[in-house]
Amino acid sequence: MDSLNIINTKDYGTVICPKNQLFKQRIKPFKFLDLYNNLNSNPSFKQRIRKEIEAEGLMNPIVVMPHEQFGFMLKSGSHRVKILKNLADATMVYMAKDENEVRFFSYLNSYIWKFNPQLNNLDFCFAEGEDSRKLKKCAERVKYLFEKQPIEVETEIVAFEETE
């Protein structure tokens, strides 16, 4: 899949980077092997997603959240994970801190995928209208994500230097 943005790293191996990384303070590299997935997938929808990824690359990060029993649980993006885990070791994810963030990032990804809004500002998250009602409701619960915050950096991705 030539459309994917893949980098090689020392700590995470091959990492697929989504094109839209809007909330940098929640973006983290994450290995597919460390992910617990209990979400079902639909074969025909998976094929649709595969075709879109082949054509456009990975548009939005999957959504992950810490879980007491399972470590880290996939909350949104099961079809993308099933496709991508065979192509790389890791991807950049939205690491949600609570269920409000999970809902917001999930609706945000869905809204961007369906409507392809301009991403130079995030006003569409608070827009009035039938199509954006759920996104607005979720965005209002996580307004702190829209404030200027220092980016929390726990790990740094270091790309391999190509040697010949």
- What pLDDT, on a 0 to 100 scale, did the predictor assign at position 97? 96
Q: What is the C-alpha separation between 41 and 60, in angstroms, rounded? A: 18
Average pLDDT in the 124-136 region? 91
Average pLDDT of the chain? 86
- What pLDDT, on a 0 to 100 scale, did the predictor assign at position 161? 55
Q: Give residue 156's pLDDT band: very low, low, confident or very high (50, 70, 90).
A: low
Predicted confidence (pLDDT) per residue in 57-104, tens digit: 899 999 999 988 888 989 988 888 888 998 999 999 999 999 999 999
Q: What is the C-alpha separation between 135 and 61, in angstroms, rounded? A: 16
pTM of the model: 0.84
Candidates 93, 103, 96, 94; CA nearest to 141 is 103
- What pLDDT, on a 0 to 100 scale, did the predictor assign at position 145? 94
CATH class, 5-146 region: alpha beta
Q: Give residue 151's pLDDT band: very low, low, confident or very high (50, 70, 90).
A: very low
Average pLDDT in the 17-36 region? 92
Q: What are the residue ranges spanned by the domains of the chain?
A: 5-146
- φ, ψ for residue 50, nearest 5 deg: -55, -45
Q: What's the Cα-to-Cα distance from 150 to each of 83, 144, 145, rounded to whole Å?
A: 33, 12, 11
Q: What is the C-alpha separation between 119 and 96, in angstroms, rounded? A: 20
Q: Is the confidence at residue 163, as pLDDT, over 80? A: no
The one-character DSSP state at 159 is B
- What pLDDT, on a 0 to 100 scale, did the predictor assign at position 109? 93
- Give the DSSP letter string of 37-70: ------HHHHHHHHHHHHHH---S-EEEEEETTT
